[in-house]
Amino acid sequence: MSQIFLKSSIGGFFVDVIFQEEYAFETMITSNPVQSGSNVNDNAYNLPYTFTFDVAVSDCLESVIPGQFDGLSTRSATAFAIFQMLWQTRVLLEVDIFIGNTMFPFFPMLIKSFKPSRSKSTMNALRWTVVMQQIILTDAQVQPVDASQADAGATSSDPQTTDSTNTGTVSPIAQGILDHGAQWWADIP
């Protein structure tokens, strides 16, 4: 009988222990009043999702994928070096999450924070918390501009500036305050 072991992976790396996984799918919703009957999509948008993993790699176990954490003196040291490098170089990663026996792939994601910790209970292992955040990618398109259109835009029949400024009307009370202030400044030696 064959047995298939399904667990979440971070950038294709399978750690020994996943103590906890947290997923945050949030929407930013306006605090301003929204007119009834209007499209609510204009007043709410989805934030990049974030995943938080509390994981560990032990020096006393073998890798789920043979040789995955080989290279340095211990598996935990190699795991530390790999995840520190992934964080530092900001490589886009895929995070595969298994819920039940169904895989949910999420790409592109970056390591937002990588917080290793060691204690007397993890002397031969490395435990860390890694926070992954979605990166929202977009494609920019270059639109060619005809040279005659660019020059036509330089001169306009509707000027954007004028020779005069509308100062409005000054109330008699405000005018008295202004006159008093002007007199006060004139009296200063």
The band of 42, judged by pLDDT with boundaries at 50, 70 and 90, is confident
Helix (H) / strand (E) element for 178: namely helix 172-187
Between CA 34 and CA 129 the distance in angstroms is 39
Per 3-state DSSP, what percentage of the chain is helix, strand, and coil (rounded to 5)?
25, 30, 45
| DSSP calls for 55-78 | EEEETTS--SSTTTT-SSSSHHHH
Burial classification of residue 162, based on how many CB atoms lie within 10 Å of its CB (0-12 exposed, 13-18 middle, 19 or more buried): exposed
- Please give the single-letter amino acid code of residue 171: S
Residue-wise pLDDT for 105-117, tens only, equals 999 999 999 999 9
In the chain, what are the domains? 9-31+41-134 (2.40.30)
Residue-wise pLDDT for 121-162, tens only, equals 888 999 999 999 999 998 888 878 776 655 555 555 665 666
Tokens 């494609």: give the residue. 139
Q: Catalogue the E-assigned strands of 25-158.
A: 27-29, 44-46, 50-58, 93-99, 102-117, 125-134
Q: What is the pLDDT at residue 4?
A: 47
